[in-house]
Structure 1
C-alpha cells in the first residue's frame, strides 16, 4: 500500500496542554495504521525523536490577535494544499481540514458564559470585539466547509452545542474522551495520604479540597473561594494566573485566606490529588478538563458546574455534585454534603470505575477506527 500522509495542525506547543496530550495519543494511533508519514504544521513544536514526524514550520508575522490567527490559518492551509496530504486534522479553527478537533468547545457559548462575570459595559464590548467576532466567523466557516468529514469533541455537551449551533449532523461529530493514566493516578491509603500532607506542609486532619487550573476566571476560582469561605474546608489552588493577587485579596476580604493555599503550577499532580478529599472546579465553561478524569482516577468526588463536559461522569450524590458555576450557596452546600474521606469507600471505587476504561489504548482504538472510516 502507498504511504499515507497525515498532518496535524496546531499553532504552538504547550507542555501542560490538553490538546498536546491528545495529539501525542493521536500519533500513537496513527503508528498502528502501518505505512504512514506523520507531519505537524505549527509555529513551533517540541516532540520526541521516537515519534518520527516531520515539522512544517509555519510562523508568519503577527502584530495582534486577529493577525496571529488569520495569518497562521492562511499559511497553514497553503502548506497542506501544496503538500497534498491524505488527511488534515486541525486543532485550530481553519476551514478546509478533513477533521477538526473542537477542543475549546463553541466560542459563542464560552462568551455567553464569560459575560456572566463581567459588568454590563464590558459585556457589550466582549460581543463587539473584532477578535471574538473573527473567531466566531472562523469557527462557522470551519463547520460549513465541504472538505470537513468529521469533528472530534471530548464531551456529549460539546457535541450537542455544535449540532445546535451549526446544524451539523450528530453522526459527523464523534465524542472521543481524553485518556487518563490509571497507573499514575490512583487512590492513596490513609498512611500515604498523611505522608503526602506532611511533605507538602498541608494540615494533616483538615477537610481539604483541591482546585486545578490556570486561567482563574474561566475555571471559576472566585466562586470556589466564595463557597469555601462559607465552610470549614481548606482549598489547595494549583495553577497560575497573571491576576493571582486579585484572588488573594478575595480570600482575605472573606477572612479565609489562611484556608486557601496557592501552590502554583505543579508537575507531580497525582500526589496533590492524593492529599485531597475532593476536587472543586466550578468552571464557567470547559469542554472536558483532564483534571476531572485524573481526580476521579484517584478516587476523589467532584464538584463542578453544569457548563463542564466532565459533569457527564458524575452521578450526583454518588461521586460528586453538579452546580451552576455562580450559585455560591449550591456549591457551598455541595461541599458540606461531601462524605468524609475513607480509603476504598464505595464512592471512591465508583469514581475510579467511571474513568477506568479511558486508557491510552482505548483512545488509540477509537481514533484508529475513525481514521479507517475516513480513508475508506
Structure 2
C-alpha cells in the first residue's frame, strides 16, 4: 500500500507519539509499503531510508494557531498526491483515518478539572479555561476534525476513548475502531537485569528488603503525584517502603509537599531520565493514579518489565488489567485510603511475586505485532471503501 503519515514533528528521540511514528514507519517499510511523511520537521536518520518526505512549512505564531496552520497546509499538500491511505495523528483534518493517540481534547479538558480536589477550585479552573483562547481554538478544531462533512474513520487506543467520542460528539461506537497502543518489549530486554537492579537501587540508597513503587510522568499534576503523596502518608510503616519519582526535572514543589506530609524520607526524586529502563528494573511495581490517560505507555512498559500496575479508571490501559492478579484500579485518584491500601498490599512479598508473574503475562498478550496487524486491517478497510467510491 501507499501510506501517508501526517504529524507536525517526527523526532523519535523525544519519545511518545514521535517514537511510535518512527517504529510504525520502519515496520511498514520493512513490509514493502511505500511510506510518505507529511511533517514540518523530522529526523531522517531515525526513519527508514525509503521514506518519501513532504515538508509542511508552518509560519511561527501563537501556540493555539500552529495546529490550524499545519492542518491547512497538510490538507493542501495531500490534494496533490494520491495515496491508498492517509492517516493523521493529532490536530489535522482531511485524512482518511484519524488516530488521536492523546484522546479527545474535550475529554482531556473535562478530566483535567478532576485533578482539583474541591468543587470551588474546579469551578475557578473551569472559568480560567473558558477564558483561554487556546482552549476555544482546540475545541473548535476538534469539532472540525470529527463533525465535518467528510468524516474520517477513527482509530482510538481504548474503549474509554471510544465512549468519549459518543459522550462528547455523538459518534457511534461502530464508527470508531479500537486498536490498543503497544510497545516493543524487546526495548526492555537485558541479560544483566538483576545487576542493573542492584546498581540502580544502590544509587537510590534503597536497601534490598525495601519495596519500591515507581511513578513515571512529565505532567506530575495531571498524573496524580499530589494525591499519591497524600496516600503515601497513610501507608503503614511496619514494612520498609519507598516511592521513586521519575520524569520532570522540576520537582521542588513536590519535595516541599512531601516534607509537609512527613513522607520526605520515603520519596526519592530522580528527575528526568533519557532512558528509564533501569528504573523499571529497580522498582517492584508501578503506581500511576492519573486523571487522564487514553492508554498510558508507562503502564505498558511496566507490564513488559513484569511490574504490576496500580492505576485509575481514567487510564484506558486499566482495561488490560485483571485486578488483583496484576495490579489494582482505583476509582478516584483522590481516594487516599484506597490508593494507600493498594500500595501497602505490595509490601507483601508473596503477593508481589505472584502479581509480578501475572503482570509479565498481561504484558505479552498485546504486542506491537498485534497492534500493527490491526492497523493494517483498518488501512485495508479504508482502501476498499475508496476503491468502491
TM-score in same-fold range (> 0.5): yes
Q: 2:87 aligns with which of 85, 89, 101?
A: 89
Q: Deviations over 1:130-165 (max 9, x none)?
A: 211221221122112344442121111111111332
State the shift of 1:13 in Å.
3.2
TM-score by length of 1: 0.90
Secondary structure class of the residue paired with 2:41: coil
Q: 1:140 aligns with which of 138, 143, 159?
A: 143
Q: Partner residue of 2:252?
A: 245
State the shift of 1:342 in Å.
5.5
Bigger Cα displacement from structure 2, 336-345 vs 161-170: 336-345
State the shift of 1:282 in Å.
0.7
Q: 1:299 to 1:88 in 2, by over 3 A?
A: same
CA distance, structure 1, for counterparts of residue 221 and residue 329 of structure 2: 19
CA distance, structure 2, for counterparts of residue 116 and residue 167 of structure 1: 23
CA distance, structure 2, for counterparts of residue 257 and residue 317 of structure 1: 29
Q: 1:72 aligns with which of 70, 73, 77?
A: 70
Q: Partner residue of 1:206?
A: 210
Residue 305 (1) aligns with residue 305 (2): no
- Structure number with greater CO (CA < 8 Å, separation at least 6) is 1
Q: 1:341 to 1:19 in 2, by over 3 A?
A: farther
CA distance, structure 1, for counterparts of residue 207 and residue 55 of structure 2: 48
Q: Deviations over 1:278-334 (max 9, x none)?
A: 111111100111110111122222111111111112222222111112222221121
Aligned residue pair count: 371
Q: Deviations over 1:245-304 (max 9, x none)?
A: 211211121122222211122234332112112111111100111110111122222111
Q: Is the 8 A contact 1:157 1:309 kept in 2?
A: yes
Q: Is the 8 A contact 1:100 1:151 kept in 2?
A: yes
Q: Partner residue of 2:340?
A: 332
State the shift of 1:180 in Å.
2.7
Q: Deviations over 1:96-121 (max 9, x none)?
A: 21110111112122112212334232
Output aligned runs, 1:1-376, within 5 Å: 4-14=1-11, 15-31=13-29, 34=32, 36-47=33-44, 48=46, 50-118=48-116, 119=121, 120-185=123-188, 193-231=197-235, 232=237, 233-240=241-248, 242=250, 244-323=251-330, 324-338=332-346, 340-341=348-349, 345-376=353-384
Q: Partner residue of 2:387?
A: none
Bigger Cα displacement from structure 2, 198-207 vs 250-259: 198-207
CA distance, structure 2, for counterparts of residue 176 and residue 291 of structure 1: 17
Q: 1:117 to 1:361 in 2, by over 3 A?
A: closer
Q: 1:258 to 1:102 in 2, by over 3 A?
A: same
Q: 1:59 to 1:228 in 2, by over 3 A?
A: farther
Q: Is the 8 A contact 2:8 2:41 kept in 1?
A: yes
State the shift of 1:196 in Å.
3.8
TM-score by length of 2: 0.87
Tell me, which stretches of 5 or more residues in structure 2 are unaligned? Answer: 385-389
